[in-house]
Structures are given as structure tokens and as C-alpha cells.
A and B are shown apart, each in its own frame.
Chain A
């Protein structure tokens, strides 16, 4: 199997309905550690970002503990996402059909998915989410380390720290917006959630949304 978008463990099981293995147990655990970290970072970060949301510090046992725990969760997220990156980067490389798919995004959102080209394991939207997350997480960890006074205060100037906090905030807002797109897509495309929960989707789901990938998996079996 040489298709760029077929990942280890991807497999078709004929039956009624057809079942397609999409994510290994390792990938799912990796994903949910990342997801939990991202949500916790969002909540603790927003608590420190906007005074109107300071009450969220109660979820982390107070302001002092929120301030303490936020960067450590960031470290967990960085390494956890690093794992996801290594698993998924190849299947998220940009291909010719992605440009066409994206140009017809309007058709997808207005209920004409049949007008979109067949795509592999990930469509252009998913690829954009993947790369946006990757870039923003690097920006966040770098700007976050500069703002982590407890350990790194002496390595940067005050002005650099001011820039870092502003960059950190902008990147954080951006990643929350990307996260909303990601979560919304998982809800809107019914049948997607089982991919990351049980690791499998139905054949119909794969046929409808990732036909090229399904074909590759079927032909690859021979």
C-alpha cells in the first residue's frame, strides 16, 4: 500500500453495514489526551484572559493553581500533539483535489456534497484544521515559554514578554476558533464521532465523505 493517506490500521470489513477501521487505539488515546489538554488550557487560559471569565479559575481550585497548572498542561499538550502530528502529517499533505474541494465548500455547506471531488482520508477542511493546529501549537508553546516567568523569566526582556503575551493571546483565540470548527464538523457530519471513540466508521460514511480513501482500502486488500 503506497497511498499517502492510508494509515496503519486502516482496514475494511465487508458486512452489513461495511465497517471501516479508521483510528487505532493508540491514535484515539493520543487524541483524547490532546483534546482534554486543549479544553483545560482553553478554560484556564480564558480565565486569565478576560476578567469576566475569571470565575473559571474555580474549576482549577483558584487563581494561584490556575496560574501554576496552565503552563504544565501546555507541556502535556505539546508532546501529546507531537504524537498526533507524527501519526497524521503524511495523510494531511495537500493534494490537487483539495483545492477543488475547498473551492466548492459552499456546495458542501448547502447540502450538495455530491458536487465535491472524491477525497482521501482527510478532506481539505480537515487538513486546514490539522495544519492550523500544528502551527498554532508551536506559536503557543514558544510564546508560552517566554511568558512562563517561574522558570524562564531571566531569558527575555520585558518588552519581549509583552510581545509574547499578545502573540500567545492571538494564537489562543485562533486555536479556539479552529477547535470550534473541528468540534462542529465532528457533530455536523453524523457518524464521525465513532471514528475517534470506537475507532471505526460505517462504509457508507467513508463512501460519502472519503470515497478515494475507501477505494484505496478496498483495492489494497487484494
Chain B
């Protein structure tokens, strides 16, 4: 069973209590959260791109579990269908045909795109609605649709261009890492459905170890630059890739080489916010103090007389 490690447990047949919840939040958008009493073990999904056969079972499982439907797609000259993530399709297999200049081999690079569950989540930092985006201590970043206002700031905050805003209910949607399944000891639906175990799920440590073995194997087969994609610019992610060409992640349908929250977003949500509010307060305070010191600028009786003389002098 060497190839079938991390087989997910069968679904429970009895009532189970959630393994984590509200008390395990480490971050909440636009609000603070009390330090959690315990730290959950960090989880991760590992997507081994070299094992992916492009069957889209993960997409089907995702739609199934999340009870979403997408319209019949249009062929845009690629197997990537739908051609992008949508508010209903939280994961998309992106197909890239690439001729390796060293070997002249045509390589079919298939990357399952979706939320990376960043340790430093740009979506959460950009979100203006309190608690609409939350992060659990196990690393899962989830959206609370009841609190989402549909502004799309999460889209600007995300370094991977993942969230999508529904034009139906005007709320943001993305992969939840099957937070609800993980909470009852199950793995994500996509991992469950993957026939080649290209998608595996476990603790982040286990996934890193598993990736090491895979990378060693790939290197022994000529992929000298095989490696793990766990970008430090966002302090690591809870969805990681094993890439055969880890030195060129852009090959995989434009996977960011060094993703980080845009400095524009950091400025907007960081110093900009405080500087802006301070400027407004300063203007108001200067006005208040000025009035206090000088008193009102009043028109005198003399001024009225002068105006009268002017008006009468000219009109007589």
C-alpha cells in the first residue's frame, strides 16, 4: 500500500462533535480575537502535480460536497473547464502544454488551482467586514458568508487571485479546505476523490515529509529542480504543491514565483488607515482650537454702515 499512504478515514456512522470551532480562531477580519487556549496541529493539503492525470474528479467532488452547480462550459481551446475559478467552482485544473527546452519533450503540466490557505492571508487582512474571514489555528482560512458584504477587497488582498464574488448573492466564495469535513476528522472532498493520490491531506509536517520522498523520487528520474512549493512570502501555505520544475513555478499556468500580499494593500490597510484617520482628526482639531482661541469672525455694525453708505451713495 506504499502508494496509498494518507488514506482518509471512512465517514463516521455515529454522531461526532466538531474537533475545532470558534474558540480556535487565531485571526478574524476587521476585528481582534482573544488568544486561543490551545493550538491545533497545522494541517495541509499536498498536491503532487507530477502525479496528476487531469481527470477532474477533484472538481466534481468539490461541486458535489459544496452542493454547487456550474453551467455547461464552453471550450476555449483548453481542457481547463471552466476557464477560470467561479463563485461556484472553487477549484480548477489548469492545463499547460510546455516544451521543455532541455529535453524537447512536450510536458503536460496540470495544476489544481484554488485557495492556498496562506499563513499570512491577504484576503483576511484586506476584508473590512468584521469576522467575515477567519483563520483557525490549524491554518484553515474560511469565509463567513453571513457577514460578507461583497466588496471584493479580499480579491485585491489575495496574492493568488482566488476569491470570486457571486453576482447572485454578492458574496465572496473560495475553497474552504473542506473546513466542515476536517472538523469531523475527514479530509477535503478533492483529496478523497483523487484516484492517483496526487492530492493528499494530513498534518503540515506529515505533508512536508511526504513531499520530500516524492521530490527525491522525481530527482532520481531526471527532474533536477523538483521541489516543494510552500512560499515563504506568505509565511507558508496550507495547500502545497510538489512541482517537477519548482525553480519555475510560473510554468504552471502562472503560479506566482514569490507571492506576497501586495505592498499597495499593506499600505492601504496598514499605515494608510492610521495616517488617514489622523489627518481627518488633525483638521477637525485645528478648527476647534482656532475657534476656541480667536472666537467667531463677526460682522460689526460699522461694516453694515459702510455697506449702507456704499449702496445708498451709488444708488441715489
Let me know if B296 is at the binding interface, CB within 8 A. Answer: yes
Contacts of A180 in B (CB 8 A): 280, 283-284, 287
* Bound CA span A32–B29, Å: 36
Is B300 a contact partner of A14 (Cβ separation < 8 A)? no
Contacts of B298 in A (CB 8 A): 190-191
Number of chain A interface residues as a range: 35 or more
Is A187 a contact partner of B291 (Cβ separation < 8 A)? yes
* Bound CA span A67–B150, Å: 7
Is A18 a contact partner of B311 (Cβ separation < 8 A)? yes
**In the assembled complex, how far is the CB of residue B148 from the closest CB belonging to chain A, in whole angstroms?**
8
Is B129 a contact partner of A54 (Cβ separation < 8 A)? yes
**Mask of A121-136 contacts with B, CB within 8 angstroms, 1/0:** 0000000000000000
* Bound CA span A68–B170, Å: 10
Let me know if A111 is at the binding interface, CB within 8 A. Answer: yes
Given A50-B273, A51-B128, A17 and B307 contact (CB-CB distance below 8 Å): yes
Contacts of B302 in A (CB 8 A): 204
Minimal Cβ-Cβ distance residue in B for A179? B283
**In the assembled complex, how far is the CB of residue A51 from the closest CB belonging to chain B, in whole angstroms?**
3
Within 8 A of B (CB), among A208-222: 208, 214-215, 218-219, 221-222
Is B170 a contact partner of A205 (Cβ separation < 8 A)? no
* Bound CA span A178–B13, Å: 65
**In the assembled complex, how far is the CB of residue A205 from the closest CB belonging to chain B, in whole angstroms?**
5
Given A51-B30, A110-B294, A214-B307, A149 and B152 contact (CB-CB distance below 8 Å): yes
Let me know if B72 is at the binding interface, CB within 8 A. Answer: no
Contacts of B152 in A (CB 8 A): 147, 149, 153
Let me know if B106 is at the binding interface, CB within 8 A. Answer: no
Is B307 a contact partner of A203 (Cβ separation < 8 A)? yes
* Bound CA span A67–B283, Å: 27
Within 8 A of A (CB), among B265-316: 265, 267-268, 272-273, 275-277, 279-280, 283-284, 287, 290-291, 294, 296-308, 310-312, 314-315
Let me know if B262 is at the binding interface, CB within 8 A. Answer: yes
Given A17-B308, A51-B30, A54-B130, A162 and B156 contact (CB-CB distance below 8 Å): yes
Number of chain B interface residues as a range: 35 or more
Interface of B is mostly: helix
Let me know if A43 is at the binding interface, CB within 8 A. Answer: no
Contacts of A162 in B (CB 8 A): 156, 262, 264-265, 268
Within 8 A of A (CB), among B233-247: none
* Bound CA span A95–B298, Å: 26
Within 8 A of B (CB), among A133-181: 147, 149-150, 153, 158-159, 161-163, 165-166, 169-170, 172-173, 176-177, 180-181
Contacts of A82 in B (CB 8 A): none
Minimal Cβ-Cβ distance residue in A for B296? A190
* Bound CA span A150–B170, Å: 9
Minimal Cβ-Cβ distance residue in B for A174? B279
Within 8 A of B (CB), among A87-108: none
User: A51, A181, A208, A219: which contacts B283 (Cβ < 8 A)?
Assistant: A181
* Bound CA span A64–B147, Å: 9
Is B294 a contact partner of A111 (Cβ separation < 8 A)? yes
Among all A-B residue pairs, the 10 with the closest Cβ atoms: A203-B307, A63-B149, A204-B304, A51-B30, A204-B303, A184-B287, A173-B276, A207-B307, A204-B299, A180-B283
**Which residues of B approach A to under 8 Å, CB–CB?**
29-31, 128-130, 147, 149-153, 155-156, 161, 165, 167, 170, 262, 264-265, 267-268, 272-273, 275-277, 279-280, 283-284, 287, 290-291, 294, 296-308, 310-312, 314-315
